[in-house]
């Protein structure tokens, strides 16, 4: 599981603190895509780790001599940790959404 965030470069026409924000469509079309791109990348990484762990587990069950039990157990643990982290992020996002929706205006 590789959860790397790529830095987002700011256009030279926008100065920090100038009160001008870039359009969201331009940010979404970029390589990173901001928060949504980072979240999508992290979810894809977790999904790939789970798929890899499942594949290794199947290979061990079929008694493939090229796949070790240790390698399989490490892959399963990485997938489990990634999934738990994803659940925590989801729960925090739902809680933040609920808090915002319950705010008095």
What pLDDT shows up at residue 7?
A: 54
Q: In which residue ranges of the chain is pLDDT below 50? A: 8, 10-21, 23-30
Domain residue limits, the chain: 24-101
- Tokens 């001008």 belong to 20
**Res 32: pLDDT:** 56
pLDDT digits 0-9 by tens, 5-20: 555 454 444 444 444 4
- Cα 2 from chain centroid (whole Å): 9
Say which residue the tokens 């643990």 belong to: 77
What is the torsional sign of CA 43, 46, 51, 52? positive
pTM of the model: 0.62
CA distances, 65 to each of 47, 60, 61, 90 (Å):
26, 8, 11, 39
What is the rounded distance in angstroms from the CA atom of residue 86 to the CA atom of residue 39?
9
77 neighbors 50 (Cβ within 8 angstroms): no
Terminal Cα distance for the chain, rounded: 41
| pLDDT score recorded for residue 104 | 86
Q: What is the largest CA-CA distance in the chain?
A: 64
């Amino acid at each position: 599981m590789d959860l790397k965030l790529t830095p987002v470069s700011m256009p030279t026409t926008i100065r920090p603190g100038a009160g001008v924000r870039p359009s969201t469509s331009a940010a979404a079309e970029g390589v990173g895509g901001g928060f949504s791109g980072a979240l999508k990348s992290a979810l894809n990484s977790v999904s790939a780790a789970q798929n890899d762990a499942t594949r290794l587990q199947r290979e061990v069950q079929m008694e493939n001599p090229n796949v070790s039990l240790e390698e399989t157990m490490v892959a399963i643990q990485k997938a489990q940790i990634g999934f738990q982290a994803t659940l925590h992020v989801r729960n925090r996002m739902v809680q933040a959404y609920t808090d915002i929706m319950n705010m008095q205006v």
